[in-house]
Amino acid sequence: MAEIIRMPKMSDTMEEGVIAAWLKKVGDAVKPGDILAEVETDKATMELESYEEGTLLHIGVEEKGAVPVNGVIAIIGEKGENIDDLLKEIEGGGASESQEKVEKKEEGKTEEKSTNKEEPKKEESKKEEPKKEESTGEEVDTSDINATLITMPKMSDTMAEGTIASWLKKVGDEIKSGDIIAEVETDKATMELESYEDGTLLYIGVEEGDSVEIDGVIAIIGEKGADYEKLLKAQKLKGSKSETPQEEEKKEDKVEKTPVKEESKTEESKAPEKTASPSSENGRLKASPLAKKMAEEKGFDISLVKGSGEGGRIVKRDVESFDPASAKPAAQASSASPAASAPTVGQESYKEEKVSQMRKIIAKRLAESKFQAPHFYLTMEINMDKAIEARNSMNEISPVKISFNDMVIKASAAALRQNPKVNSSWLGDKIRYNEHIHIGMAVAVEEGLLVPVIRFADSKSLSQISNEAKTLGGKAKNKELQPKDWEGNTFTISNLGMFGIDEFTAIINPPDACILAVGGIKETVIVKNGQMVIGNVMKVTLSCDHRVVDGAVGSAFLKTLKGLLEDPVRILI
């Protein structure tokens, strides 16, 4: 019987997925565990695994096409099975009618569907009874097996699956509690997977570079010689039982209108074109999702990269060490010939790129902040003459180079301590006034914006803040941040002064009530003691959530901040 494959919800914020690449084509045999496609979500590029066995009969979404969560993307069934009626029902959105027809196919009936609603209900209950009897008969007793399944843990609040970057242990190795057995790439960073079991590594279920969803089995640790195959069989049966009610629900859900059969022919004709890479096998480019994403961000063809992973698979380190200069001459030669034969002047042209899932979620969250939180803005000029002198003096003896941004972070933390109402959050039915001060530091990366957090900033010295800011900034750009590095901010600073921006306003970063936008230091004419003199001025703008912070409260904070930066000795006390 044909089964509809729908777009799963791969993260807590995911609303739709983009088919980055199909790894199977219509007519291919599919087994449980096979990777059907690579899906780009708002967090990462993940692999879509099949839980069905059969033949891929229909592909309903083209590569680079987006489909909402629970939307139909493919159909798997028996080879040669007629799915025309199912396709018509999907196209027309008739989920309930397609459900009745599928039920009749299961029963081997060919007559028209009955208008009596009571009879199908009785038939459904009859069909469910033997299924229950079969499942109880297939239960496997694993009480005598001294082994433990190791599953993929949830390593961040937004993680839906993890990719095994590398195995640090192999089958047969002795494992002790606390040993690191693998490195796992999540949607945020690469983390270490620690064992909490003692025993022998009996089984590895996920190869390096492959992904597995949360709670998916990745390994088995136990007594040497334990029958882990029996344990895997029991787990598989348990999983199939838990999926049964979900499959029933899927049939009853309404489905989105999808392209019909002719589009699958286009997919079949596209598939053979992917065989040019030396790191490909059977038309599939052998590269981890992270490697593909990094290559796309760096702007070069991943098929030119030589893989060093297992079986020639392209992994993160290959992309990082790849020099595209060697590949440029050939690419330039091939693209130069048509231009040389037909030069044009003033030709209109443009390039369009689909919005990445990360950019979509940034747009969504900032739009929610902008339109849900009533923003108002307070701007103040700060004379930085003494700050410049103090910085020069401190850098003569400081173990790390102190920047003006470090001074702003320290001064802001001190000002928050004196104006605690700014260090707050709107929680709907209550306001939270944070007694700790964790300052988020906006860092621009190629994919968008990350905000690592300097914790307890008010109790740290300028040297400590400087060292921590540099470390977190580097980790953000190298995608090495851990959850503890980006969680818990109570106030955020965004500094564009180093880009030559004199003044700007920033959108509040939830759950904070305020964000400080810092411009550059500009040499200008100021009035001092009734005389016009040259001075160094920096403009700062405080964006405030008016539900929490009023104008007088925000103004008091800026006045305190101004006093601290204009006399920086006070922030050292």
In degrees and rounded to multiples of 5, residue 416 shows phi and psi of: -65, -35
The one-letter amino acid code at 25 reads K
Residues in the chain: 573
The answer to whether the CB of 546 falls within 8 A of the CB of 376 is yes
Give the Cα separation of 502 and 33 in Å (integer).
55
Give the Cα separation of 112 and 567 in Å (integer).
87
In degrees and rounded to multiples of 5, residue 16 shows phi and psi of: -155, 160
Q: Is 7 helix (H, G, I), strand (E, B) or coil?
A: coil
Q: Does 550 participate in catalysis according to the annotation?
A: yes
Beta bridge partners of 161: 213
Residue in the structure block whose two tokens are 């096998």: 281
Q: Which of 157, 215, 550, 567 is catalytic?
A: 550
Neighbours of 53 (CB within 10 A): 14
Q: What is the DSSP letter of 460?
A: S
> In Å, what is the CA distance from 321 to each residue of 295, 306, 329, 446, 540?
11, 10, 19, 18, 40
Alpha-helical regions (H) of 380-448: 385-394, 404-418
Query: Across the chain, how many H-helices and E-strands are there?
Result: 14, 28
DSSP β-ladder status, 424-426 and 448-450? unpaired
Q: Does 144 participate in catalysis according to the annotation?
A: no
Catalytic site positions:
546, 550
